[in-house]
Structure 1
């Protein structure tokens, strides 16, 4: 089918280009400032007078970004892996069992989306202290699993409700049990929504500032956002190091997103049905 290029199409393309440029400006400013020397007085949109990579080296060494990246990676990978396993397993009976307890349990999980996490900061802090998990990345892992579980179950359950039952019925005829049917038949079909769950939870965990500041305060273990905050002080703010550190911290998330881009779009298109 041949579609003519009309003036409306041209206007739409021009608007999209302008919007894309507006979204690109903050990224350009961030990268531009990360290559500047501390005493460069040029405007944020102007190119640096002298390009330098020293900001990246200083941010890496002074802020101990290497250790912070390892901590953030461990917390994000372990938390999101556990979320994918537990949330998908919990969502399967919630989506397939049509009894009253299933609906009640589902809405019970959804209540977790409505309650602000700040309400539980003090009780959770005292619990982590009593369990001797303060200053440990494993305390963060437990916290994020509980915090993000309702949202992950919401996504998985919506996707499963839109998934045909015929696949499971065929597996049951072949003699597969409920557990085997889920892992061998159902879970591979959850690939689109799993990609969405992964990227949204990774972003939430990776960018969180308050929780690591609260639970890892005073320890040598810190995540990337808290480490970057150390460059900003009451009297001296090392903005060149902050911008360089931000570029370093953003890179892993961008890589994960680009790898899962198609899967994320599929998950958004089909995972919220039903």
Structure 2
């Protein structure tokens, strides 16, 4: 036995296992219930399915019209992420390299955007978007999510850029490149780790948001997955297998995105905290 392995280490391992079980149990319950019919759910709700059925997934897909909802969520999420990466990275490059009072004040202003709750502006924004005729369109949520998540995105990018040596960009500037060329061709390729973090954290927020799409898109053909699932659950609340199958289909895209980008999340977030 390793002499450094003590009883305290054993207790910490047990604690970590208990925490892992606590986090994984809802996932187990969600998947298990989605593979059962109503009779199995009533008899043994949390037991492993003896005869799993995948009919719940096809029924949920058709009855909840998840195809159009997934398309709407995908368009809104991808467009918002593209705007956040483009605007956030370039703004952070200026703030990180601008050693003036103006740059510092602008950075503090962005940090205030993280602290202040966005719910304070929901009613004025609703009236403004209504007067502009944007309610029920993709544009309203893309603009909203870009503005709401931009301070957090700038915060992550700024900390990461400050940790990078400035020699690369300075060499490009000496060779005659503009600041835009130095950023796009030299600096931005080095931002891959934090960009992965920005993508997954913002994607989770945008994809799972329920209140904002309900307020701005409710009743239109542009409803996102959480809004469509909410209406679906209220209609088929007695059919638990169908409901949980719909929830699994709604959560699957963002889970797959996290698995693809997970190695960037911790490294990029930690680098952003250094700033």
Task: Place the TM-score, normalised by the shorter chain, in its bin.
Answer: over 0.9
Preserved CA contact (<8 Å) 1:231 1:239: no
Q: Is the 8 A contact 1:231 1:237 kept in 2?
A: no
- Correspondence for 2:148: 147
CA distance in 2, matches of 1:218, 1:172: 52
Match of 2:13 in 1: 13
Q: How far apart, CA to CA, are the structure 1 residues paired with 2:226 and 2:129?
A: 21
Q: Secondary structure of the equivalent of 2:218?
A: coil
Residue 61 of structure 1, CA deviation: 0.3
Q: What is the rounded CA distance, in whole Å, between the counterparts of 1:51 and 1:103 in structure 2?
A: 58
Q: Distance in 2 between matches of 1:170 and 1:71?
A: 44
Q: Give the TM-score taking structure 1 as reference length.
A: 0.93
Tell whether the 8 Å contact from 1:134 to 1:215 is kept in structure 2 after alignment.
Answer: yes
Corresponding residue for residue 24 of structure 1: 24
Displacement of 1:263: 1.4
2:156–2:273 contact (8 Å) kept in structure 1: yes
Q: Which range moves more in the overlay, 245-254 or 43-52?
A: 43-52
Q: Name the structure with the higher helix share.
A: 2
In the alignment, is residue 221 of structure 1 matched against residue 215 of structure 2?
no
Quote the RMSD (CA, aligned, Å): 1.8
Matched, 1:119 2:157: no
Cα separation, 1, equivalents of 2:233 and 2:250: 16
Instruction: Name the structure 2 match of 1:39.
Output: 39
2:218–2:227 contact (8 Å) kept in structure 1: no
Per-residue deviation, residues 148-199 of structure 1 (Å, max 9, x unmatched):
1111111111111221111112222222221111011111111111111100
Shift of 1:11: 4.2
**If the length of structure 2 is used for normalisation, what is the TM-score?**
0.93
| CA–CA separation in structure 2 for the residues paired with 1:12 and 1:113 | 34
Instruction: Say if 2:237 and 2:243, in contact at 8 Å, map to a contact too.
Output: no
Farther off after superposition, 220-229 or 60-69: 220-229
What is the rounded CA distance, in whole Å, between the counterparts of 1:126 and 1:84 in structure 2?
Answer: 28
Deviation at 1:264, TM superposition (A): 1.4
Q: Distance in 1 between matches of 2:225 and 2:165?
A: 42
Query: Are the counterparts in 1 of residues 76 and 138 from structure 2 also a CA contact under 8 Å?
Result: yes
Q: Which range is displaced more, 224-233 or 39-48?
A: 39-48
